Structure 1
């Protein structure tokens, strides 16, 4: 009985010692935060989905994450299958209807086109209080790694156009979710931030 206690105690001590030795010194929370693995494979080619929403754009917001900057176009009441879009890199953006060029700052420009109006189709009243050619209301891109500028281009015949200026032509993805369209633009082409 004494021998079995000794064997168990020895086994427990060895397991504890090996467990501590097996954890590298850099596996601290600080080091783990620096070694974020970022997704790859998004690419920079045009992305689109054909559908039209009966709902209207209500707001646009942005956020910065470890691996990418994010723009969210809120369309309350829209289902993910109803959200049509086209997102692509362009040399310049021209307002639908008038053809007026809208300058957008940055090393590259994404045209974000959402197949939903920024006005009430029944009354023509704006549902998103933006002015063509001006920065998006309430969007402050100070301190973002990728986003440089965000301009409202216009809303014409059920489509809303936004110009998103980014640091360079970087990979991006588009997510269709209930009530919103999400555009993520990576900070780099690599796999780490």
Structure 2
């Protein structure tokens, strides 16, 4: 395989993987963002101050979404790098060192994003488990007044789903970045076979 055809193949990997990664992350990120916004604003109207969706776990969830926004930008940047790699003018093509730096930065962004999102999920799930364990056990025929702030609300589960979507989006971006890094770091002998 010639150097030019190898470069075209790598450019195609950048474009295709970039677009797939971009759309997966964007869709999951928008869904997570809407769920978190809904959770935060709906809890301001209610008087439930102990909802984990509006607490410390939500701060980590939002930080995970911010990292995901950076990851979405990098996925779009992959598509632009793919186009630049196909340029007939060699001065317009990015150097291999530059492209590897972008991919490595994306890997770090997604790992950090996964970490903060998982921390948020752990805090939220821990709060929900605590709520479930502290609910009074009701016997047959016993009617008691339960404080709604101590019970698990459906909205709490939406926040857990938002975190799961964000982790999945980061995982998709991480897999895409590792795939690109593998393809551009592959020895010449493996490419020709």
TM-score by length of 1: 0.24
The structure with more radius of gyration? 1
Greater fraction of residues in strand: 1
Higher relative contact order (Cα pairs below 8 Å, separated by 6+ residues): 2
